[in-house]
Amino acid sequence: MRIEIGPNEQGQRLDKFLRKYLKDVPLSAIFKALRKGDVRVNGAKGKEKMFLQEGDVLEIKYLYSKSPEEKKVVFDVEPEFKVTFEDDNILMVEKWPGILVHKDQEGKDPTLTDQVLSYLFRKGAYDPKLEKTFSPSPVNRLDRNTSGIVIYAKNYEALKTLNEMMRDGRIVKNYIAIVKGRIADGEYRAYIEKREDNNVSSVSDTPGPMKKEIAMTVKTMESTGQYSLVELNLLTGRSHQLRAHLASLGNPIIGDKKYGVKEINNFLSNKYDLNFQYLYAFKVTFKNPDGVLEYLGNKVVAEKLPPILKKVKNDLFKFDL
């Protein structure tokens, strides 16, 4: 088997590339082949922790896998998202409630990622049959019933850069939410623990072996006392973080069926047909981007509130944002 490394494979460690490329080959067989010298890079024995460069040629003996054409499928899902921003490296789309970014354990329903891959395939920006291991991937994720901006990397270099920026806190994600009651402005920190059996997270002020630290900042934009319109800055990225954290403070997000107040949710459902949490990822700021994304400068990308969220906000606060 002969493989030439392209731009979407470069920079990967050899062992990680092989694990992705040979998905149906046991790991023990892959590492045995590396030890025996059955994987060669540019004619020399491949070392598992070496990094691949564009133009490198891999020769693999005695390991057989389905061809990329057999392993790949053409995604034929109808794209239903709104494109917020797109260039050669990144795609930012507006996710709507009711759809997952990634497949869950059941994996039955098409995901936002399926829609994105279908969209890119149709416009000729992605062909799964031409890729060895890379697939356009999301950099952030939103809960099933949270709406707003999701960022996708269209190539490996963009994905690597975006992931580094995310780890360094150089991708700032801001949300708009309506919460119960009043909440003081400032930074909030706590610890979260997720129960896998019921997919519910609990928040406390004390650390623990199964708990992860969470942090957010809150800025009140308007308040009636009964409700507050707030802007949230997500400082850490944990599942259900904002929803569970705000609920633990006594300020659950309205419309949130898992962490919210039933009476408020029923009112919103009956009056506005709002059956999901009022949490919208409306703005992304790229701080000091580098590498292949350096050209973005300190770009800010934002979306306006969807009509149903704008209607609820205008009715509750009697002003137009």
What single DSSP character describes residue 55?
T
Catalytic (active site) residue 143: yes
* 3 state DSSP class of 175: strand
Instruction: Give the DSSP H/E element, type plus range, for residue 194.
Output: strand 186-195
CB of 130 closer than 8 Å to CB of 74: no
Q: Select from 2.40.10.220, 3.30.70.3270, 2.70.98.10, 3.10.290.10 the CATH code of 2-60.
A: 3.10.290.10
3-state secondary structure (DSSP) of residue 196? coil
Q: DSSP secondary structure string, 57-86?
A: EEEE-S-----HHHH-----PPP-SEEEEE
- Tens of pLDDT, residue by residue over 219-246, are 999 999 999 999 999 999 888 999 999 9
Which CATH number describes the domain made up of 82-168? 3.30.2350.10
Question: Would you state the pLDDT for residue 109?
Answer: 81
What is the sign of the dihedral through the CA atoms of 66, 67, 68 and 69? negative
Please tell me whether residue 178 adopts helix, strand or coil conformation: strand
User: Rounded distance, CA 277 to CA 274, Å?
Assistant: 8
List the chain residues with pLDDT less than 70: 62, 64-75, 105-107, 319-321
Kindly state the tokens that stand for 144. 């099933």
Q: In CATH terms, is domain 171-317 a member of 3.30.2350.10? A: yes
Instruction: Assess contact for 27 and 33: CB atoms under 8 A.
Output: no
171-317 has the same fold as 82-168: yes
Tally Cβ neighbours within 10 Å of residue 151.
24
Catalytic residue (one of 15, 56, 114, 143) = 143
Q: Taking the domains of the chain in order of start, what are their residue ranges? A: 2-60, 82-168, 171-317
Pairing type for strands 279-286 and 147-153 reads parallel
Q: What is the pLDDT of residues 68-90, one digit of tens each?
A: 544 445 567 889 999 999 999 99
CA dist., res. 245 & res. 189, Å (int): 9
Closest CA to 285 of 176, 171, 175: 171
pLDDT computed for residue 241 by the predictor: 94
Contact indicator for 141, 87 with CB cutoff of 8 Å:
no
CA distance 128 to 133: 9
